[in-house]
Amino acid sequence: MKKDMTERRATIRQEIVELLKLRPITPFDISGALKISERDAALHLAHAITSASRKHRVEITPAHCKTCGFVFKDRRRTTKPSRCPNCKKGQVESALYYIREGR
């Protein structure tokens, strides 16, 4: 069940920025908190990070493979990788995003 737009006081991206200021969070966590799909959360997250980086310091802990430890350090997309390019397993931990106040 989708929320009616009149119920929202802020835009989805503004709500994401506020969530990111509280603690490190994944797109999956954002989707649960805002009741949107994980794919939509990742899409909005990318835009929220871009706009938030003008005023705040955005910290990203990259996604990594739970099996072999491979780190997706150069990945720019906010969606979770489906599998590890090193060991080909699907045990990938999603990236964490966090906003620190100030630059």
Count up the domains in the chain and report the number.
1
Q: In percent, how much of the chain has pLDDT > 90?
A: 78
Q: Is residue 2 part of a domain?
A: no
Assigned domain for 27 exists: yes
Average pLDDT over residues 50-70: 93
Banded pLDDT at 93 (limits 50, 70, 90): very high
Predicted confidence band of residue 1 (pLDDT cuts 50, 70, 90): very low
What is d(CA 97, CA 76) in angstroms, rounded to the nearest whole number? 12
Q: Which structural domain, as residue segments, surrounds residue 32? A: 10-100
What CATH number should be reported for the domain holding residue 28? 1.10.10
Tens digit of each residue's pLDDT (9 = 90 or more) over 20-53: 999 999 999 999 999 999 999 999 999 999 998 8
**Is position 42 within any domain?**
yes
Average per-residue pLDDT for the chain: 89
Considering the domain boundaries, does residue 96 fall inside one?
A: yes
Bridge partners of 93?
Answer: 64
The reply to whether 4 falls in a domain is no
Query: Token pair of 2, please?
Result: 């989708």
pLDDT band (50, 70, 90) for residue 10: confident
d(CA 27, CA 97): 8
Task: Let me know if residue 18 belongs to a domain.
Answer: yes
